[in-house]
Every structure is written in structure tokens, then in C-alpha cells.
Amino acid sequence: MSEAITRYEPLLVVTPDTEATHDILAARLTPEAMRWVTLFECPTNDTWARDHGPLTLQVFGGGEHARLLDFKFNGWGCKFPAELDNAISSRLALAGLLPHPLEDHNDFVLEGGSVESDGCGTIFTTSSCLLAPHRNQPMDRDEIERQLLRRLHAQRVVWLDHGILAGDDTDGHIDTIVRCASNDKLLYVRCDNKDDEHYEDFKALQRQLLELRTLKGKPYQLLPLPMPDAIYEEGFRLPATYANFVILNGGVLVPTYGQSANDEWAIQTIARAFPGREVIPIDATTVIRQHGSLHCLTMQYH
């Protein structure tokens, strides 16, 4: 991933041990690529930058500029220790490693993987996650929606009510099932195997997506991604998904799972969704054992 990312943009790596991390990266990256890498030594709980990293809000009108929003991360509803990860963004800001001042939103729990934006005023999320216990209670759905609209300067919130992956620790993050490719194009996971435990739930997700309309009243262009064949560890199914891709300035990192037909389907579909970007497959069979994938590991900022 580091090699692929540094083809297109700088890479900031937060690590508890910068010396060891430097040696690992230097053994794999060229000296030119290493010049794009910044290492920041910081104590951490885990590896999921998507959910504790700052969200970039692009503001238009009166001069385009970006803002960095630091929401509270509490280990996906207090399931896992999170106090160190929740402090990473503020530590980066104090070290002068962020390009804009960090806005404190630590009175509201929001993980980066739980929201997806079309860039034109619509925020997509899942009711299973944002309404799950230990997030923002006693707020109800209406109040949570008001908070999202205000804090993210959005025009509407689209709540999806289906599509939870077996083995998922996040209560159903949107970035595991539905992603935006443009303001009217959605990539989504489709399950065609009637014997798969996900079949009924993901068919319901597909029906809900077919009913959605853009803010201009038009249907979304829907691009299906395959459901990976089941991957198990110690008898438990892991939450493998092709929707967890990472968009770079000039490329897209696509998770693969050693399943040639499914991998190729996902690669070709994502290539169609992002014309002009290099599509780079990354073997995610190791990281999926930690119950996440490529998008979960990363957070872009501007």
C-alpha cells in the first residue's frame, strides 16, 4: 500500500515505533518513494485510521478551502480500547503535521467509515451503525441527522437499512457496502448466491438503492461488486468486501482476496467507475484477519 500510495501523493504513517517502521518501509520502497513518507511516532490502540482520522470538509463559496473535523472515536461503541487512537488527530495537529487547524467535534461520536459523501450535499450512512448502542445516545435518529447536516454542511442524509457483513465489528459501516464514484453513481456489494447467509439482506439493500433518487430527482447509476466467497478463520467468517477500496489522486487501491473471478470482476467494475485512474490491486487477505480492509486502514486529508 505504501508503495502504491507514494506513486501519487505524500504518505503520513502514524506508528508507535518510527525506527522499526522506517526500516520496514526502506526495505520495500525506493529512495525516491521514501521522500514522500513522513513518520510520526505516537502511541496507538489499533490500525484503523479511517475511523479516528480527521474528516476533510471541502467548503465552496467565498473562496474554496478545506476544514479538518475531529470527531470522537470510542472503539465502535465501546467494543475496544480507543483512548489512544482518539488522541491521534490532536497529537498530529500539535506536531504541526496537518495542513489546516483541527476543529474539535469530540462531543459527537462519528467514525469516518460510517459516512460516505457524493460531494454534492448528500451523506450516505447506515441505520445499523449510527443508531447502535454507545454511540450518541440518548439522541434519536432525527437528532443524529440534524447533527450530521449541521456539522457536515449537507443538504440531506440517506439512511440505508440493510447490508451488514458477517464478522463486522463496526455495526455496519457504509464503506463496506456502498461507495460513491460520482454524484450520481454508486458501487455496491451484490450477493447472488442464494446459499450465502447475506443473500436476503443484500437483496433488500439492492431494492433500497433502486428506489433512491439524486437531489435532482434522477435514479442513481448502480454498479454491482461481487460478494467475495466466504473466508473463515477459526470457524468465524471474516468481513471481506470489495467496496473497501481507496481513492488516490491518480489511482484506486482495490482489495483482493485470492479469488480470481471475483477479484477480476471487482477490478474491472472499479476501473469503469473511475476512468483515468490507475487501478492497483492489493492483496487484503492478511488485513481482513483483523476484520477490516484497505479503506479502513487509511484516511485521506486535504
- Which residues participate in catalysis according to the annotation? 296
Sign of the C-alpha dihedral, residues 23, 85, 129, 133?
Answer: positive
SS3 127: helix
Please name which of 243, 257, 246 lies closest in space to residue 280, comparing C-alpha atoms.
Answer: 246
Strand partners, 232: 237
**DSSP labels, 31-61:** HHHHTTEEEEE---S-S-HHHHSPEEEEE-S
Helical residues (DSSP H) of the chain, grouped into ranges:
2-5, 18-28, 31-34, 49-52, 75-78, 83-86, 88-94, 127-130, 141-152, 199-211, 260-273, 294-297
Backbone angles phi, psi at 218, to 5 degrees: -105, 150
